[in-house]
A and B are shown apart, each in its own frame.
Chain A
Amino acid sequence: MFDTPLQRLTPNGDLLGESPLPLEEIRRLYQAMLSARVYDRKCSVMQRQGRLATYAQFEGQEASQIGAVAALRKQDWVVGTYRDAGAMWFHGYPWVNLILGRTGDERGGRAPDGVNVTPPSITVGGHMIHAVGTAWASRIKGDDSVSLTLFGDGATSEGDFHEAMNFAGVYKTPTIFMCQNNGWAISMPRDRQTASKTIAHKSIAYGVAGALVDGNDLLAVYEVCKQAVDRARAGEGATLIEALTYRMGPHTTTDDPSRYRTNEGVEEWAQKDPIERVRRYLESEGAWDPAWQAEVESEESDRVETAVSEAEALTPWTADEIFEGMFAEIPPHLAYQQSLLRRRP
């Protein structure tokens, strides 16, 4: 079990077996992956320019994130982390919010109404159980929404991973656990994170379905996620998916990976790039041309620029506003503290 990851597209873009998606939909998802990469690279640049605070790149993980969210419906939940901007955005969380968050502004954490995407979890591992709770609530309320939670290989070492998986197993909640095993938890390699042969193996102990998938293969990720989503919606419980991918960049912009890894892995995984392999496939199907690519890249670049300008144009919180997020109504002791701050020269 879990000997080989499911693959639908080879790194050369050759299709193995049936495609789970029509060509037009693959084009749409390809475009989304490109957009995510444009955003990701721009954010890294802007961080170096001093316009954004610390940034966590997700380059290399676009297929895992876009492919997973592609299997959801609008009303479903996405509960992810600081490295899941691609997934959050593709489920309706605007770039401007994500950028706001990275400029150091809590207003970025507010998903638009009707978009069930939680603010990215910053502490590692505590959020997975939330996707058990949101999924459970959906069932109690009698709606058929499912909840997708994204996390890395490092998060599976947290005790909260165990509690979340165990609850999902016991209560058969409609939760999809999407582990993006990107090989590294800051400096800690995957083989020192767990003695388990694969992370997918852990599903067996919890009595939930498990899947191992090539996380750089958009079609394969979509396929296993769609199966997991269908199972969850049908009341058949949770699935743990391990998507094998690679963190091409540093942990965050404050990290220096040369302290703990050589460039070998990066070079090896660059050959398995999730975007390039779909491009090759589309090209072989006559559904890609360089002009379209350039157009998508430039449009997305403009969109991200606009989002940055919007975020930067927003006036920072006033002293008053820092009190306003704490409770539905400001209680007297906070109102008093607010008055003290107002008097600060």
Chain B
Amino acid sequence: MTEMNIAQAVNAGLATALEDERVVLIGEDVGTTGGVFRVSDGLLARFGPERVIDTPVAESGIVGAAFGMAINGLKPIVEIQFMGFTYPGFDQIISHVARIRNRSRHRFTAPMVIRIPYGAGIGAAEHHSESAEVIYAHTPGLKVVVPSTPYDAKGLLLAAVEDPDPVVFLEPIRMYRAIREDVPDEPYTVPIGVAELVEEGDDVTLIGYGAMMKEIGAAFELLTASGVSVEVIDVRSLVPLDTETIIESIRKTGRAVVVQEAPRTAGFGAEIVAQIQEHALFSLEAPVERVTGWDTIVPLRRAEKHYMPSTEDIVQAAHRTLLS
């Protein structure tokens, strides 16, 4: 066991993955500088420039070349610097990476991981604060995971590398160095498609993922202190979504608050709410609450706080469900 933060846990996961000779890490500045967030620090020295590849600034080229490597037997891990920079490479992800298994009927597959730091909260420049996870979740053929803890970051990364299909691996920027915990030194995986029941309770279920788990954790403390019995689910995997864990919880608590940092309309939270009403409508004691970002561009540093869903928003939403 070593105590580490999320950035270090991803680094440890990458180092473990690179022990497999089929794995390459490819992206802008991932080698010499160790990535803009230093997540790949030290890997170039350990695995060499053939396996840890600094590329020209060209997201479509990076994803497309990695795709070519993947169909020819490698297991590339792509790093996109920020979610807002993914769009030039998006055609490759949607039109090729996500489709090749189907369009070649399993003859070619793209067992690759696309790592994308995402989310706001660090006062970054424009285009550096996006939470566009739902676009990936909406694209048939991709799996989408979002760790919120160091343990899950390493375990989900190794599961994503092992997975025979392309996995979009979202790293909450704000959480990279926010929390530390013991992470096993040996390889392990956290299964894709399994949510984590973080806290057990009876009155209301708080559901979220990624950076929002920090706000949810704080809301849990406040609500618990005020005598509410709160259940907390970290979704972890958007696709496949562990609907069962969510539904089981709603059947028990009858109340839910779904939290996402992304804009409100057609966000992933809406999918969770839809699943709840499809499968557990008659267990509900109150309308499901959504706490989300707004349908606005994420404001720059000085006004960013107005965008971010807060602990207080979650607490209030939970109380509203408890009024019914």
Contacts and interface: CB of A to CB of B under 8 A. Distances in A.
A133 B73 CA distance: 11
Q: Considering residues B61, B70, B241, which has the most beta carbons from chain A within 10 angstroms of its beta carbon? A: B61
A110 B240 CA distance: 26
A139 to B, nearest CB: 8
Nearest to B165: A327
Interface stretch (B94-102, B150-158, B259-267): B94-102
Between A79, A123, A333, the greatest number of chain B beta carbons within 10 A of the residue's beta carbon is seen for: A333
Contact of A126 (B50, B91, B241): B91
Contact of A133 (B56, B67, B239): B67
A333 B105 CA distance: 20
Given A325-B106, A333-B241, A163 B74 contact: no
Nearest to A111: B107
Contact of B74 (A137, A325, A326): A137
A107 B140 CA distance: 18
Given A107-B105, A109-B105, A140-B69, A332 B243 contact: yes
A328 B164 contact: yes
Contacts of A332: 193, 240, 243-244
B56 A166 contact: yes
A341 to B, nearest CB: 14
Contacts of B91: 123, 126, 160
Interface string A329-345: 00111100000000000
Contacts of A148: none
A331 B102 CA distance: 15
Given A133-B66, A133-B69, A140-B50, A326 B107 contact: no
A45 to B, nearest CB: 26
B72 A164 contact: no
B165 A133 contact: no
Contacts of B107: 109-111, 113
Given A137-B72, A167-B56, A326 B101 contact: yes
A167 B58 CA distance: 9
A304 B171 CA distance: 52
Given A106-B102, A133-B70, A134-B72, A118 B108 contact: yes
From A131, A140, A141, A333, residue with most partner B Cβ within 10 Å? A140
B95 A129 contact: no
**A79, A136, A328, most chain B CB atoms within 10 A:** A136
A137 B68 contact: yes
A164 B56 CA distance: 11
Contacts of A138: 72
Query: Which of A141, A147, A327, A331 has the most CB atoms of chain B within a 10 A radius of its CB?
Result: A327
A129 B68 contact: yes
Given A133-B66, A133-B69, A328-B165, A166 B61 contact: yes
- Most chain B beta carbons < 10 A, residue from A79, A133, A134, A328: A133
A160 B240 contact: no
Interface of A: 77, 79, 106-107, 109-111, 113, 116, 118-119, 123, 126-127, 129-138, 140-141, 147, 159-160, 163-164, 166-167, 170, 325-328, 331-334
27 contacts: A106-B102, A106-B105, A109-B104, A118-B100, A118-B108, A119-B103, A123-B91, A129-B60, A129-B67, A131-B68, A132-B68, A133-B64, A133-B70, A133-B71, A133-B72, A137-B72, A137-B73, A137-B74, A140-B51, A160-B60, A163-B58, A163-B60, A325-B102, A325-B105, A325-B106, A331-B239, A333-B243
